[in-house]
Structures are given as C-alpha cells and as structure tokens.
Amino acid sequence: MTSHPLLAAIRFDAGDIDAFLSEIAKRLDASGLRIRGALQSRGAATGECHCADMDLTTLGSGKTFRISQPLGAGSRGCRLHPGALADCAAYIDDELRAGADLLILNRFGRGESEGRGFRDLVASAITLGVPVLTAVRPIYAEGWRMFGGDTACDLPMERRAVIDWALQSQEARNAA
C-alpha cells in the first residue's frame, strides 16, 4: 500500500458536485498545480428530449465536448454519447502526457464501474504517476472500491479535506 493514495473520490449524494469540483480546480490551479481533466455542465432541457444537454469542458484548455445525444421524444434511456466521451478522454490523455500534476474528472459512475467511460484515462494517469480526483455516488461506491483497491481513498465533500489531499499528493510526487 502506498503512503499516500493516488486516487481519491469525493463521496456525494446531494449537492452541486460540478460547482464544487470547479471551485477546487480553480483553487488548485491558483496554487500553481497543472490541473487537467474535465468538468460537466448541463444546459436547459429543450426540444423533444426530456433531458438537458450535457457538456464536458476540459481543465486547462477549456475545450468543450457535447457528451449527450438527442434520442427523440419519449426516450427514457441514457443519452450519453460514447464516441464524444471517448474523444474527450483521448484529448485529455494527450494533455496528461504533455505534463500534469493532477487529473480531475467529474464522475466515477456507471460507465467506469462497468469498465468504460474514463476508466482507461484513469489508468493512464496512474501509469504516469498523476493523482486522480473524482466524485462517486453511493450507488457506484462498490465499483470504485473494486477499481481503486489500496490505491484509492474516499473524501468528504469538504473543501479543506479535498485541497489538503491534492496538496499532499503533490508533496508525495515531489518526494518520490
């Protein structure tokens, strides 16, 4: 087991995790860390679909990927566009390889629990020695535990705890 976990997930069930992660990213960027990753935003529900559009905006470069797709009136299934998510992951992977101190990803969710989504990107960060911060709902906590094992920890949705973990991750990287 490592002395400082390389992976951390903020446990959340309620609250605006996207705004919280955005604030964390801004504070850590201001401290001088090279932050990479993606945060989610939602537009207003419009047109014939019942869900709002979902976008991922990359940290650092600010490139936006629309990760939702219109499925038509009456659809109830997941509107996630796997191709757009894969494009976003490849883009972020290139940014990681160019240099990063921390990877922040909006969620470890269903896709990641099932071996898809950003899972390969997280593995790439681990290989590069880049700590990863994400968020996980209780329904995906077991998938997170199985994925991260001894290299992962859980954090409360508290600013100080998350920032402390990130800064300690940087200290551990510098000491290695």
- Cβ atoms of 8 and 133 closer than 8 Å: yes
Beta bridge partners of 133: 8, 104
pLDDT tens for residues 24-83? 999 999 999 999 999 998 654 555 545 567 889 999 899 999 888 766 666 555 566 677
pLDDT tens for residues 69-125? 766 666 555 566 677 889 999 999 999 999 999 999 999 988 898 888 899 999 999
Domains of the chain: 7-44+51-175 (3.40.50.300)
CA distance 69 to 82: 9
CA distance 131 to 83: 25
pLDDT value of residue 2:
46
Letter for the amino acid at 28? L
Average pLDDT score, the chain: 88
pTM of full prediction above 0.95: no
